[in-house]
Structure 1
């Protein structure tokens, strides 16, 4: 088995791109699942029609496509970087998603969420400097 290399700037950029794509996918999925057509279908209970309505909602479908793209890029990262170094960067997705949830969807940013977000950022910064 080939030894993964050290993280280069290109690999760091690819990791961050994966994280951003995943966070954007979350936001798009939220928009799709909050749409009137999906919400109406979800209220009618589980059925094949519900599955089709959700899967063929343009935003849900787009979010899933972004997840797929991010996964393909992540496979390249895993082939070249130690997983123990690369994977903690995924935590930045929580930060991006929380901030976007606040600014895009008006979700609350409580003191505990802000503190947790700061801890995540500090942990990733510490890891990146190691």
Structure 2
């Protein structure tokens, strides 16, 4: 049970990291492959609390994931990462105002079914 909880903590932290980074970049603006644009936006990126929080969440999720991988088979743990899609879609809808279409909801249901099947194997 503790391994399952650790997996969920890692997945949630990873999804939160993505959402924090997205929020940070919404505030910074669009980046391009133009070096001058990147250099111009670099101070905004460095000062952005959402970006730093996202990076911090990634680091913590990595540490949790290392613990997970030391305890369970990767073939068991890895499929749970797909739950991050669900978390990101739902929080993105409510927090970032992103769309949640019938296709996305259908995909989320398929992912849930797949994770349930894999977790029982």
Q: TM-score, normalised by structure 2?
A: 0.89
Q: Distance in 1 between matches of 2:109 and 2:68?
A: 25
Asked if 1:23 is matched to 2:15, the reply is yes
Which residue is 1:98 aligned to? Answer: 89
Q: Which of these two proteins has the greater Rg computed from alpha carbons?
A: 1
- Paired with 1:101 and 1:46, the residues of 2 have a C-alpha distance of 25
Structure 1: gaps spanning 5 or more residues: 1-8
- 2:24 and 2:50 in contact (8 A); partners too: yes
Number of matched residues?
A: 118
The aligned runs of 1:1-130 (5 Å cut-off) are 9-35=1-27, 38-39=28-29, 42=31, 45-47=37-39, 49-130=40-121
Structure 2 CA distance, aligned partners of 1:105 and 1:58?
16
CA distance in 2, matches of 1:121, 1:104: 22
- TM-score, normalised with respect to structure 1: 0.83
- Unaligned residue ranges in structure 2 (runs of 5+): none
4+ residue stretches of structure 1 with deviation over 3 A? none
